[in-house]
Amino acid sequence: MKYVYIDTMGCQMNKSDTERMLGMLLNFGYEETKSPQKADLLIVNTCSIRQLSEDKAFSAVGTWGKWKKEYKKNIKIGFCGCVAQQKAEEIFKRAPYVDFVLGTHKIYSLPEILERINNGEKVCECTETNKTEDITAKNYKINRVKGVNAWIPISEGCNNFCTYCIVPYTRGRERSRLPEIIIHEAKEALSSGYKEITLLGQNVDSYGKDFKDRNYRLADLLKELNGLSGKFRIRFVTSYPTDITDDLIKTALELDKVCEYFHIPMQSGNSEVLKAMNRRYDRETYSKIINKVRSMIPDVTITSDFIAGFPGETEEQFVDTLTAIDEFELDYCNVAAYSPREKTVAAKWTDKFVPENIKNERFQRLNKKIQENCLKSNKKYLNREMEVLIESFYEHKGKKINSGKTRNFKTVHIPCHEDLTGKFVNVKITDAKTWYLKGELKEK
Ligand code: SAH
Ligand code: SF4
Ligand code: F3S
C-alpha cells in the first residue's frame, strides 16, 4: 500500500480538483493519509490569487524537500494547481526536489505522470489546452470530501480579465462542461448520500455561452437538476453581477431545491475604481441588480467580495466601498488587501500603488464594517422558524452541538444530544451572534 498526502490551498475549484486527483490516485493503488510524515507521495495543490498564497505553496514543499534530502529519499513530491499552471518549469529552479509540476489544464494526465516519475523522470505538464474535452472526459471516480455537500464544477476558466486578477492566466478561457456530465456527477453524488450540490464556476451565470450545438444556460441546468428525485439542495457560486438575468432569478425563485443565496462580488463601491478594475458595471448598475434580486427573492442572502487598496484608490473612493456594504445590506463579504500579480495589467501601475500600511488599515476597517453588518443581518432571523441541513456534530465546552446551514446560507448551532448530520430539521432561532445563529429543534 502506498500513501498520498494532498495539501489543498485556495478556492473550491482547487478542492474539487483535489477530489478528482485523489480519485485517480486511489485507482492506482494509493490510499489517502492526513499525515504528511506517513506519505510516499506528497502533493501541494496551489493557489495564486495573492502573493501570500503563492508563498505558502513554496514553504509547504520546502519542508518536504528537506525531508527528502535528509532522510526520506524515496518520497515523491508534486506541485499542482494555479501556481504550477502559471510558473511551469520555473518551479524546478526554485524547488529542485519537486518530481512533477502539473497545471490546472492537465489534471487528468496524473496517471501517466505517476508512471513517468516512478521511472525516475522529472515531469512538467502545464500545456494550456482550453479544449472542452479536457474538462469532461473522465473515467475515474471522484473521491469526494465526506460530508453533506458535493461540489460540481460547471465551467472552467474566465474571459473577463479584471485588471488585478490572475485567474484567466491560471485557469484559461471559459469552457462550460457538458450538462450530461454534470447531471451524471450530481446523480452519483446524490446516490452516495450527499444532500447538497454546489455548482462551481468563476462566472456561473455565463454557463453555456460557449456551446455551439445547443442553447442551454444555467437556468436550464438548474431546472434539470431540480427534477432529480429525493430531497436535496442546490447552490451555485460565483455570479458575475451583469450576467444575472431575470430568467435566472425567476428560475431560482421557482425551483424548490435552489436555495435563496447569491454570491455577487462587487470588488469596489466606487465607479471609477470599478472601471480601472475592468469590471463591466458601475455602482448604480450593481445597485439595480441587487435590488432586483432582493425584491424578487424573499429572505435572500447576498454575499460579496471586496479589494482594499486597489492601485490609485483614494480615501474617498474607499469610503464608497464602506457605504456600499451598508446601502446594499450585504450579508457577508470576503475582503482582501490588493496584491500585485505577475502578468496582470494593474501590477504594472507601480506609481499608483497604495502603501502597505494604508492598505492594511483599509482592510481592517472593511472587516469591522462586515462584522457589524453580519450581526445586523443575523438579527433579522430572531424568533423565525427555519429549515437547517445539519453538517456536523461536535462537543463544545461539555455541550453537544449540531451545526448546519439554512437555505439562505446562515450557520445555525443547535444543542442536541443526537447526531443529526445529513438530516433536514426545523429550528426556531433563539439567538443571533456575528458569525452564527443559535436555534432549538422544533421537530425532527
Ligand atoms: N470570479 C470571481 C472571483 C474569483 S477570485 C469574481 O469575479 O468575482 C476571488 C476573489 O479574490 C475576488 O473576488 C477578489 O476579491 C479577490 N482577488 C482576486 N485577485 C486579487 C488580487 N490581486 N489582490 C487581492 N484580492 C484579489
Ligand atoms: Fe478574476 Fe474577474 Fe475572472 Fe473573477 S471575473 S475570475 S475576478 S478575472
Ligand atoms: Fe482558486 Fe486560487 Fe486558483 S482562488 S482558481 S485556486 S488562483
CA distance 39 to 33: 7
Q: Is the pLDDT of residue 64 over 70?
A: yes
Work out the average pLDDT over 271-279: 98
Task: Report the pLDDT value the prediction gives residue 141, as an integer from 0 to 100.
Answer: 83
CB of residue 280 inside a 6 A radius of ligand 1: no
Residue 60 one-letter amino acid: A
Q: What is the pLDDT of residue 128?
A: 87
Rounded Cα–Cα distance for residues 35 and 38 (Å): 6
Q: Which band of pLDDT confidence, cut at 50, 70 and 90, is reported for residue 132? A: low
For the Cβ of 2 lying below 6 angstroms from any atom of ligand 1, the answer is: no
Count the neighbouring beta carbons within 10 Å of the beta carbon of residue 270.
23
pLDDT at 438: 98
Ligand 2 contact via 158 beta carbon (within 6 Å) = yes
Virtual CA dihedral for 230, 236, 241, 244, nearest 10 degrees?
Answer: -30
CA angle 266, 86, 155 (to 5 degrees): 50
> CATH 3.40.50.12160 spans which residues of the chain?
2-125
Pocket of ligand 3 (CB under 6 A): 10-11, 13-14, 47-49, 82, 166-167, 170-171
Judge whether residue 404 has pLDDT over 60: yes
Q: Where in the chain is the domain with CATH 3.80.30.20?
A: 135-379
Q: Is cis: bond before 301, omega within 30 of 0?
A: no
pLDDT, average across residues 409-427: 97
User: What pLDDT is attached to residue 71?
Assistant: 87
For residue 156, the surrounding DSSP H or E stretch is: strand 155-156
- Residue 263, pLDDT score: 98
Average pLDDT for 374-402: 97
* DSSP state letters, 311-334: TT--HHHHHHHHHHHHHTT-SEEE
Rounded Cα distance, 26 and 6, in Å: 13
User: What separation in angstroms does the CA of 44 have from each of 6, 17, 321, 373?
Assistant: 6, 12, 35, 36
**Quick check: 136 pLDDT over 70?**
no
Q: How confident is the model at residue 23 (pLDDT cuts 50, 70, 90)?
A: very high
Tell me if 439 sits within 8 A of 426, measured CB to CB: no
Q: Which atom of ligand 3 is nearest to the CA of 12?
A: 1
- Ligand 2: which of 48, 165, 341 to mutate, judged by most atoms within 8 Å of the beta carbon? 165
Cβ of 334 closer than 6 Å to ligand 2, yes or no, is no
Q: Which ligand lies nearest to the CA atom of residue 277 in the structure?
A: 2
- For the segment 223-270, what is each residue's pLDDT rounded down to a tens digit? 999 999 999 999 999 999 999 999 999 999 999 999 999 999 999 999
Burial of 401 (0-12, 13-18, 19+ CB in 10 A): middle
Q: What's the confidence (pLDDT) of residue 72? A: 86
Q: Tell me: pLDDT of 444 over 60.
A: no
Angle between helices 356-379 and 315-327 (to 10 degrees): 10
| Cα distance between residue 339 and residue 49, in whole Å | 8
CA of 317 to the centre of ligand 2 (A): 21
- Tell the CATH topology of 2-125: Rossmann fold (3.40.50)
According to CATH, the topology of domain 135-379 is pyruvate-formate lyase- activating enzyme (3.80.30)
Share of the chain above pLDDT 90, in %: 93
Span of 143-147, 227-231, 284-288, 421-425 with lowest mean pLDDT: 143-147
Q: Given this model, what pLDDT does residue 10 score?
A: 96
284-298 mean pLDDT: 97
Q: Any residues with CB less than 8 A from the CB of 405 and at least 6 apart, and which?
A: 388, 389, 391, 411, 412
Q: In the chain, which residues fall in CATH 2.40.50? A: 385-441
Q: Closest ligand 2 atom, CA of 161?
A: 8
Q: What is 47-96 written as a DSSP string?
A: --SSHHHHHHHHHHHHHHHHHHHHT-TT-EEEEEEHHHHHHTTHHHHH-T
Write the pLDDT tens digit of every residue in 117-130.
999 999 999 998 87
Top pLDDT among 182 and 140 is at 182
How confident is residue 134, by pLDDT bands cut at 50, 70 and 90? low
Which of 12, 50, 170, 175 best tests ligand 3's pocket when mutated (most atoms within 8 Å of CB)? 170
Contact 395, 407 (CB under 8 A): no
Q: What is the pLDDT of residue 139?
A: 66
Mean pLDDT of the chain: 95
Q: Given this model, what pLDDT does residue 369 score?
A: 98
Contacts from 136-140 at CB under 8 Å and sequence distance 24+?
136/177, 136/178, 136/181, 137/108, 138/20, 138/108, 140/20, 140/23, 140/24, 140/27
C-alpha grid cell, residue 329: 445590506
Report the predicted TM-score, pTM, of the whole model to 2 decimal places.
Answer: 0.96
- Span 354-372, mean pLDDT? 98
Q: Is residue 330's pLDDT more than 70?
A: yes
Query: What fold characterizes domain 385-441?
Result: OB fold (Dihydrolipoamide Acetyltransferase, E2P) (2.40.50)
